[in-house]
């Protein structure tokens, strides 16, 4: 989200139009993730003007409506909290 990042005065921005939470790419795609990381580092190295935005040359392979943002099964902590919702305040206050 280049506009949001720019609004907090980031000194330089390497922007990528990937789904939220998948900034480096698809899980398990080590080669794709490495390509994004290398392009990001190269962009950050070459930016000269404070606040400059460089858009990285990558496209997400799926349409936004096809992106699966949730795992097929809820994580164990989510299942536990669904059964024991009174435990959430303790968890959030770190008094577990």
Chain position carrying tokens 């080590």:
30
Task: Quote the pTM value.
Answer: 0.63
List the structure tokens of 53: 């935005």
Rounded to whole angstroms, how far apart are CA atoms 6 and 50?
10
**CA neighbor of 6 nearest in space, from 52, 45, 49, 55:** 52
pLDDT in single tens digits along all 96 residues of the chain? 667 777 777 888 898 888 878 888 888 899 999 999 999 999 999 999 888 889 999 998 888 777 777 777 788 888 888 898 888 888 888 777
Rounded to whole angstroms, how far apart are CA atoms 37 and 58?
11
Specify the pLDDT at position 34.
97
The alpha helices in 1-96, defined as continuous H runs, are 2-7, 30-46, 76-83, 88-92
Beta bridge mates, 14 = 54
């Amino acid at each position: 989200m280049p506009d949001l990042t720019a609004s907090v005065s980031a000194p330089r921005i390497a922007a990528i139009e990937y789904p939220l939470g998948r900034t480096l790419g698809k899980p398990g795609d080590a080669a794709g993730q490495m390509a994004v990381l290398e392009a990001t580092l190269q962009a950050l190295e070459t930016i000269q003007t404070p606040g400059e935005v460089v858009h990285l040359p990558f496209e997400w392979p799926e349409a936004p409506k096809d992106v699966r943002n949730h795992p097929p099964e809820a994580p164990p902590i989510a299942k536990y909290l669904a059964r024991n919702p009174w435990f959430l305040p303790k968890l959030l206050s770190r008094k577990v």
